[in-house]
Amino acid sequence: MTNALYRKELFALPRDMIYLDGNSLGPLPKMVSGRVEQVLKDEWGSLLIKAWNDADWMSLPTRIGDKIAKLVGAPSGSIVMGETLSIKVFQALAAAVALRPGRNVILSDTGNFPSDLYIAEGLIELLGNKYQLKLVEPDDVALAIDQNVAVVMLTQVDYRTGRLHDLTELTHAAHRAGAVMLWDLAHSAGALPVQLQKSKAEFAVGCTYKYLNGGPGAPAFIYVRPDLIETANTVLKGWLGHEQPFSFDTDYRPAPSIEKMRVGTPSIIQLVALEAALEAWDGVDMEIVRKHSIELSELFIRQVESRCPQVALCSPRLAQNRGSQVSFRFEHGYATIRALIDQNVIGDFRAPDVMRFGITPMYLDSNDIVAAVDHLEQVLREKLWQRPEYQLRSAVT
Amino acid sequence: MTNALYRKELFALPRDMIYLDGNSLGPLPKMVSGRVEQVLKDEWGSLLIKAWNDADWMSLPTRIGDKIAKLVGAPSGSIVMGETLSIKVFQALAAAVALRPGRNVILSDTGNFPSDLYIAEGLIELLGNKYQLKLVEPDDVALAIDQNVAVVMLTQVDYRTGRLHDLTELTHAAHRAGAVMLWDLAHSAGALPVQLQKSKAEFAVGCTYKYLNGGPGAPAFIYVRPDLIETANTVLKGWLGHEQPFSFDTDYRPAPSIEKMRVGTPSIIQLVALEAALEAWDGVDMEIVRKHSIELSELFIRQVESRCPQVALCSPRLAQNRGSQVSFRFEHGYATIRALIDQNVIGDFRAPDVMRFGITPMYLDSNDIVAAVDHLEQVLREKLWQRPEYQLRSAVT
């Protein structure tokens, strides 16, 4: 298989490691270290406070937002970076419900990432429990959107199974019922083509440390549909979302741009690392990424199913219904993942029994996929997962 | 003057720069670069996802919280790091008002940092405008605390003038009236001794990029009085505040520890930089910091007042009423600060006419103070502030 976007040389991946966890934490792009050293020594260390102007730290959140916009089908000026994904979910959801004052249901599905649901719970509590968070099975979302639904809040790709929602179709379904659409693109950005603007979804959020390789704790992004930016409500009214933060007024006046969704002082070092990491995406066509992701995923599924009868595919079988990860269920999945990690094949585990493997064609090829299955086959055939050292749960599993 | 804590050699300060802006962004501690290089190459780059366990990334927010606790008179297990100061203000204020359901006033003062007030506005809006944000002059706070006040929310040190509130006395005044006390320690932590636990204040928040030198956008901290940790309400219910984040339940159950105030995935690179920066504080006695801060501040005031009659002190004259910065008003303050920066004397400006100078005895001595005044005297005497290049406002002033 030829792979026009294979850019493994851009990443500082350990030799002999097969890294199938880019859906959780992307590897270190080589451009990052030099750029971080520069921000420390030449900017923080030498310019100090002047760097906010002279190194243009202040515009990093929008500058990077524009770069991410290109990867998710959004126009310039519609995305800004900041804080964490949970915080951005809170902001987007609060702004979304404010657009439909007469309705009282926030609809989501059981495949959503728990933090999104927790954040919704917290917001509902703050709003005096006027809203109900309604969870349905992922396949039942479209049918559950009725006239009571204020906001449909979904993560496009299920973090456990990789099940992929049809972003355009569900957005249209939400709009037909008069509801606002909020997408979490945590497992979409950098994984597959997203047509945010075309879909007409009102809000989206996402993280940058997975497929975008921004580094551990890289800041999150928030998208607001351009026609709503001026009126969208901001509830986390931080000073950097103010029209004129440095006038230090006692009254809040939101910026008339996407910057209204900024809150506190941005994490400059993380943003600089992220900006450098995004260089790996220069000129990359997401359709090509998707094509290779599907080819590698299909290869992985075929190989595992023919050689590892002990495990059961729990990702959708049809490529069009799947993001860029493949998951298998196995009773001894936790210990199996530990055994694989011991062999330098890095996947991860999600309770109760899901083994996840991220497919990232930028630094994985078909040789890696086949080699990974070699190891999995060995672990299962020799029951290496039985070893005592693989049973103990660690803090992060 | 002897200065037992003078540790300028620990900081990568440019030669010939006199840095009087540590109240805005502390300088780069030399320990940071190596540690950040290590987290990039040896942890993110080599361990990748395993670093969450193997490099103990997951405990960084509490580990660093414990270090900061020592500097602000708080016990171990009462402080956790995360996101930005504005977010922590939101969390603390929401938890605080929930403790006094029958009361409807949030009391603050006009010297509070605007973002804290904006965040309060936003929270009040979310809570259905049941609360009133009442602002009084800083000197009138104690008298304004009545039976309607749910929460007294104050920044201990005024960001413009350096005016210092008596933390213990105002906390007691709040408690006598049955109100909850929330302190913002942005300009206190690392600047002067704080006796949080002794004061019995319920909540505190602060930032770490000023006197603690954690770097641009370093994460904020939140303190909850130990006896309230188990019951304090969390409203930003992020997954890392969950009792068992990796069980991925659809229902939120707050952690029974200060970790309940965690929200999203922490910014690991910034936390690591901060942890390294805090090594400069090992063994430092905040009483000694305060003593030297006062000596240098008094010297600065004496020198400026005797040599620069054009400017007027707007910080409190009495050291006991002042934090670790000294501010002067001057009609041409903006251009004067620009002229000083041109001479490598770095202070900053706050609208409408305040020139701020941060006093940080860890890397400033009396020679620096006198030299800074030499420059200020020259700028004023020769009216260098008249030059056209000093008139143009930059994005961050």
Q: Across-strand partners of A206?
A: A221
Please report the pLDDT score of residue B393 as a whole number: 76
Of B14, B40, B49, the CB nearest to A348: B49
Q: Does B259 touch chain A (CB under 8 A)?
A: no
Please report the pLDDT score of residue A2 as a whole number: 47
Q: Does A289 touch chain B (CB under 8 A)?
A: no
Q: Which residue of A has its CA nearest to B159?
A: A248
* Inter-chain touch A351–B247, beta carbons under 8 Å: yes
Task: Identify all chain A residues contacting B238, using CB atoms and an 8 Å cutoff.
Answer: 84, 86-87, 115, 118-119
Does the pLDDT value for residue B3 go beyond 70?
no
Band of the pLDDT at B2, cuts 50, 70, 90? Answer: very low
In 3D space, the residue among B199, B104, B206, B94 whose CA is nearest the CA of residue B150 turns out to be B104
Assigned superfamily of A8-29+285-390: Aspartate Aminotransferase, domain 1 (3.90.1150.10)
Residues of B numbered 363-392 whose beta carbons fall under 8 angstroms of chain A's beta carbons: which are they? none
Mean pLDDT for the stretch of residues A223-241: 96
Q: Does A29 touch chain B (CB under 8 A)?
A: no
Specify the range with the lowest mean pLDDT, choosing from A249-253, B131-135, B287-291. A249-253
Give catalytic status of residue A381 as yes or no. Answer: no
Q: Which residues of B are catalytic?
A: 113, 184, 209-210, 356
Interface-testing mutation among B49, B244, B356, with chain A (most A C-beta atoms within 10 A): B49
Task: Identify all chain A residues contacting B94, using CB atoms and an 8 Å cutoff.
Answer: 126
Q: What is the pLDDT of residues B245-274, one digit of tens each?
A: 988 888 999 999 999 999 999 999 999 999
Where do the CATH 3.90.1150.10 domains begin and end in chain B? 8-28+285-390
Of A19, A41, A269, the CB nearest to B216: A269
Rounded to whole angstroms, how far apart are CA atoms B155 and B373? 29
Where do the CATH 3.90.1150.10 domains begin and end in chain A? 8-29+285-390
* Inter-chain touch A126–B94, beta carbons under 8 Å: yes
Give catalytic status of residue A103 as yes or no. Answer: no
Where do the CATH 3.40.640.10 domains begin and end in chain B? 56-281
Q: What is the pLDDT of residues A143-190, one digit of tens each?
A: 999 999 999 999 999 999 999 999 999 999 999 999 999 999 999 999
Q: Which DSSP helix (H) or strand (E) runs through B136?
A: strand B132-136
Burial of residue B128 (number of CB atoms within 10 Å: 0-12, 13-18, 19+): exposed
Mean pLDDT for the stretch of residues B366-385: 98
* Inter-chain touch B45–A27, beta carbons under 8 Å: yes
Written as one letter, the residue type at B350 is R
Across B185-228, where does the E strand assignment appear? 203-206, 220-224
* Inter-chain touch B14–A246, beta carbons under 8 Å: no
Quickly list DSSP for B65-93: HHHHHHHTT--TTSEEEES-HHHHHHHHH
- Looking at domain B56-281, which of 3.30.360.10, 1.20.1250.20, 3.40.640.10, 3.40.50.300 is its CATH number? 3.40.640.10
Q: Which residue of B has its CA nearest to A60?
A: B217
Q: What is the pLDDT of residues B308-362, one digit of tens each?
A: 999 999 999 999 999 999 999 999 999 999 999 999 999 999 989 999 999 999 9
Rounded to whole angstroms, how far apart are CA atoms B16 and A311? 66
- Which ranges of chain B does DSSP label H, i.e. alpha helix? 31-38, 51-54, 60-71, 85-98, 114-126, 141-144, 167-176, 196-199, 268-277, 286-307, 333-342, 366-381
Q: Does A263 touch chain B (CB under 8 A)?
A: yes
* Inter-chain touch B248–A346, beta carbons under 8 Å: no
Q: Are A89 and B264 in contact (CB under 8 A)?
A: no
Does the pLDDT value for residue A352 go beyond 80?
yes
Specify the range with the lowest mean pLDDT, choosing from A39-53, B2-16, B85-99, B108-122. B2-16
If you count residue pairs, one on A and one on B, with CB atoms under 8 Å apart, how many are there?
Answer: 285
User: What is the token pair recorded at B270?
Assistant: 């910034």
* Inter-chain touch B44–A394, beta carbons under 8 Å: no
In 3D space, the residue among B382, B376, B392 whose CA is nearest the CA of residue B335 turns out to be B392
* Inter-chain touch B267–A270, beta carbons under 8 Å: yes
* CATH architecture for residues B8-28+285-390: Alpha-Beta Complex (3.90)
A278: DSSP letter? G
